[in-house]
Structure 1
Amino acid sequence: MSNRAYNFNAGPAALPLEVLQKAQEELVDYQGIGMSVMEISHRSKEYEQLNEETQELLSELLNIPSGYKTLFLQGGASTQFAMIPLNFLNAGKVSNYIITGSWGKKALKESKLIGETFVSAQPEKFSHVPDISQLQLQNDSAYLHITSNETIEGIQYQQFPDTGSIPLIADMSSDILCRPIDVSQFAMIYAGAQKNLGPSGVTLVVVREDLLEDIPDHIPTMLRYDTHIKANSLYNTPPVYSVYIVNLVLKWIKEKGGLEQIEKINREKTKLIYDVIDESQGFYIGTVDKKDRSIMNIPFRLKDEHLEKQFLKQSEEDGFVGLKGHRSVGGMRASTYNAVPFESCKALSQFMVEFQKRNG
């Protein structure tokens, strides 16, 4: 469609055009039942089938081993920041956090409200992942929490820490399903859907069952993971339409060839933009060490704020959306999630080259 914007929004973010068209086609009549999926009961056989199928697709794409449960919850990743220590940070235990940016700091803040919390590693400047090869964790550790990809700062883990018997928990909100991962490395992964999975409104949780054995009795019902596992994510009314769109996105990823092929495309897309930054002789300034660059979020600066404002103004006039950096860091940011087409990244790289020619 020629009138589609070049959407680089950080979240809610681009959805595959094919998914939007399928949703449009089924909007008023889902699978011939004479109702929209938004109108049906979450206790109906149609929704229970959708719920099960979406879990199965995730299990297939992520190659989730046995002994894990998949949940579709509400409240975004921000609610998970509190639910994790509420459920797992028991008396006499300490939670550990590696901080690589803004979202890690927010998760840390919630844990500090609930129990003893320790910062295992944090670089002085959020431009790289700290050295985790010599990471020391205490014997009384409840878990180690990481943010696999920092949406604002554009830092992404290339390898994950080996925590031995200590549970590793990862916020994967902005890079879930962008590449294959070994789920067995993690006790839990979670992700808000609105960047790489679907629309806002649903949060994915994949949790190892043995992690749920010692949840304190005093945790409120809705904030307990075992509540939602026993009810198969149907304890209360789920975000039905958001789960439906996630289902369509997962089918789209499968049709594209799965995560190996998705990663290949993502690396080709982001290389177009990173190459322009690297070859600009300082006109564009990357803000992340090359070894830790994200294939989902590309932050960059220009030499002065006046030029940055000019860049944003001209890019908007040319149909580019969402390139303004987060207000906490400024500059520019291109979010190149799975659904952002190769053609959009190519158009941005060409725009950047032309902008430098006119203003360099």
Structure 2
Amino acid sequence: MAKRAVNFGAGPSALPDSVLQEATQGLLDFQGTGIGIAEISHRSKEFTAFVANLESLIRTQLDVPPTHQILFTQGGGTGQFSAVVLNMLARHRLLHPNLTDDERVMDYIITGSWSKKAAAEARRLGGGKVNVAAQSTHSIPSHESFKFSPDPALIYYCENETVDGVQFSHDPSSPASFPFHLLPQDTLLPIVADYSSSFMSRKIPRLADHAVIFAGAQKNIGPAGLTIVIVRQDCLVDVDAAAKLGAVPVPISMSFQTLADSDSLYNTPSTLPIYIAGLVLERSRELGGVQYFEELNRKKADKVYSVLKEGEQKGVFRGKVKEGHGSWMNITFDVLGDGAEAKFLTGAEAKGMKALKGHRSVGGIRASLYNAITEEQTDGLVTYMREFIAANTQ
């Protein structure tokens, strides 16, 4: 096999070589059936057992409590921008049938491009009004700035902003942490979190307090086409009953209750992405699970942020995010000087490092350090950045 590039892309992102090699065998013969994974019936006993094992791998490694169900669906994180609104509004309608749409509130915390898009979708769908509970650019909002509604249908945040490189800290003492302490402590909270670009990279703080956690697979887990949703049992509601009370009808394939009742097999799922995700998470388990990757990802991020700071001091680089608020997964920065960014990218490509160009909406550089990026590959990027600093310092 020809030497593979180091893929620092934000998604679809790098996958472990060993997993890809194993998956090629499964394309021809899935678990000795003589039928490839892309061909086999999703109702077969072999595939249904594989889905059950995938759920177990997630539940065990993330310590998902029995109060929450793990669902597999399609549509990516963007599909969940719609699904969570419709399902959580249906739940709220059943709890509070007499409220008008203007009295029904959804709280959104805006920290970057994806949470902004999620809020825009909530406004588009209607059924309730959007309250921006906190908002900031290039940082997590200060705890003092949060203004939560008294009884919202949902409280939405994006744990890691892939485009902008901003991430909530998982250290509760950090000013960049999610302010759970500002919320009521004696009730089931309607917290919804987009974990698409950090899922399985480290532990999820107060997972049990979340109503819904979702993640597109194409960052740390597998190929595009699979979405993982962790839903608390009280959010599996009768959406048709809610619609009779005036809630926006929920498409059947977006209903959390439908997915749960059918063990995520209501319709044909993304069999190949599910298969590769299972292989990735088996490998994760063998390496030590989320704890292993948390330690590894901390080291990788520290190394890149350290050389970024060196570049800032020399006037070569400029970070885009407030210190202490930066993502472990997506590190964003600018290369200063006319033509310097193109020069940086060309030099990286020559060394086999690809997909470092920032998102088209913000430009600059973005190094995505997902689980499949090794410490050795990260060290290669750090070495190149240090060489670039030396070559471009007067």
Same fold (TM over 0.5): yes
Structure 1 residue 232: Cα displacement: 0.8
Structure 1 residue 22: Cα displacement: 1.3
Cα–Cα, structure 1 residues 46 and 273, in superposed 2: closer, same or farther, change >3 Å? same
Provide the C-alpha distance between the structure 2 equivalents of 1:21 and 1:132, rounded to a whole number of angstroms: 46
Deviations 1:42-75, CA, capped at 9 Å, x for gaps: 1110111011000011100110001111111111
Among 366, 378, 381, the alignment partner of 1:333 is 366
CA contact (8 A) 1:88 1:214 kept: no
Deviations 1:82-106, CA, capped at 9 Å, x for gaps: 1111111244421000000000011
Among 131, 135, 157, the alignment partner of 1:118 is 131
Q: Which amino acid aligns with 2:148?
A: L
CA contact (8 A) 1:103 1:147 kept: yes
CA contact (8 A) 1:169 1:188 kept: yes
Structure 1 residue 317: Cα displacement: 1.6
Q: Which amino acid aligns with 1:299?
A: T
Alignment partner, residue 144 of structure 1: 155
Alignment partner, residue 60 of structure 2: 60
1:183 has 2:207 as partner: yes
CA contact (8 A) 2:134 2:147 kept: no
Secondary structure in 1 aligned to 2:28? coil
CA contact (8 A) 2:212 2:231 kept: yes
Alignment partner, residue 306 of structure 2: 275
Cα–Cα, structure 1 residues 133 and 180, in superposed 2: closer, same or farther, change >3 Å? farther
Deviations 1:129-151, CA, capped at 9 Å, x for gaps: 00135633222311100000000
Deviations 1:307-335, CA, capped at 9 Å, x for gaps: 11111111112211110011111110000
Provide the C-alpha distance between the structure 2 equivalents of 1:260 and 1:137, rounded to a whole number of angstroms: 32
TM-score, with normalisation over the residues of structure 2?
Answer: 0.88
CA contact (8 A) 1:133 1:161 kept: no
Deviations 1:161-191, CA, capped at 9 Å, x for gaps: 3133331110000001111123113111000
Give the gaps of 5 or more residues in structure 2: 94-100, 170-176, 244-248
Provide the C-alpha distance between the structure 2 equivalents of 1:39 and 1:214, rounded to a whole number of angstroms: 34
Structure 1 residue 253: Cα displacement: 1.1
Cα–Cα, structure 1 residues 86 and 339, in superposed 2: closer, same or farther, change >3 Å? same
Provide the C-alpha distance between the structure 1 equivalents of 2:272 and 2:144, rounded to a whole number of angstroms: 42
Q: Which amino acid aligns with 2:200?
A: L
Alignment partner, residue 155 of structure 1: 166
Identical pairs, percent: 42
Matches within 5 A, 1:18-33: 18-33=18-33
Structure 1 residue 304: Cα displacement: 2.5
Moved more, 23-32 or 263-272: 23-32
CA contact (8 A) 1:14 1:340 kept: yes
Provide the C-alpha distance between the structure 2 equivalents of 1:35 and 1:359, rounded to a whole number of angstroms: 55
Provide the C-alpha distance between the structure 2 equivalents of 1:338 and 1:82, rounded to a whole number of angstroms: 28
Provide the C-alpha distance between the structure 2 equivalents of 1:134 and 1:288, rounded to a whole number of angstroms: 18
Among 277, 291, 294, the alignment partner of 1:263 is 294
Alignment partner, residue 45 of structure 1: 45
Q: Give the count of matched residue pairs.
A: 358
Alpha-carbon RMSD: 1.5
Provide the C-alpha distance between the structure 2 equivalents of 1:345 and 1:53, rounded to a whole number of angstroms: 31
Alignment partner, residue 386 of structure 2: 353
Provide the C-alpha distance between the structure 1 equivalents of 2:65 and 2:338, rounded to a whole number of angstroms: 49
Cα–Cα, structure 1 residues 147 and 305, in superposed 2: closer, same or farther, change >3 Å? farther
Among 194, 199, 204, the alignment partner of 1:171 is 194
CA contact (8 A) 1:69 1:229 kept: yes
Structure 1 residue 33: Cα displacement: 1.0
Moved more, 47-56 or 157-166: 157-166
TM-score, with normalisation over the residues of structure 1?
Answer: 0.96
Matches within 5 A, 1:64-83: 64-83=64-83
Secondary structure in 2 aligned to 1:46? helix
1:296 has 2:329 as partner: yes
Moved more, 193-202 or 279-288: 279-288
Alignment partner, residue 105 of structure 1: 116
Provide the C-alpha distance between the structure 1 equivalents of 2:378 and 2:211, rounded to a whole number of angstroms: 35
Alignment partner, residue 250 of structure 2: 219
Secondary structure in 2 aligned to 1:97? strand
